[in-house]
Amino acid sequence: MSTSEAGRRGGSKVRDKYGEDYYRRIGKKGGTSLKEKRGSEYYRTIARKGGQANVSKYGPDHFSEMGKKGGNTTKERHDADFYSRIGKLGGAAKRQRKTG
C-alpha cells in the first residue's frame, strides 16, 4: 500500500467516525488558536510571502491573464445588466476606515 493510499484510507475512517464537517471544525479551531497566538498580522505576512513567491514563479502577466479569464467567464455566465447591478451595490455599501 502506498503512502497516499494509506492517508486516503485513514482520512476516510476519520470522516466516517466523526462526520463530514470534522476537518472544517478542527481547521477553524486551529486557525482561531493561531490568530490568538500570533495576531492577524501573521496572516498578512504569510499571504504577502505567498503572493511574492507566485509572482516570482509565474510573472505578473500570469495574473493579468487569470483576471481576464475570470472576467470573461463572469461575463458569459451573467446577463448584460450584471455589472451595473453589482456596481450600484458596491457604491451603496458603507466604506470601512483603514486603521494603522
Single out the residue of 71, 95, 65, 94 nearest to residue 83, CA to CA. Answer: 71
Q: Where are the beta strands (DSSP E) in 11-73?
A: none
Q: Tens of pLDDT along 11-49?
A: 999 999 999 899 999 999 999 999 999 998 998 999 999
Q: Which cell numbers in the block locate residue 4?
A: 497516499
Average pLDDT rounded to a whole number, residues 46-59: 94
State residue 99's pLDDT score. Answer: 67
Query: In the chain, what percentage of residues exceed pLDDT 70?
Result: 98
State residue 87's pLDDT score. Answer: 87
Q: List the chain domain ranges.
A: 1-58, 60-93
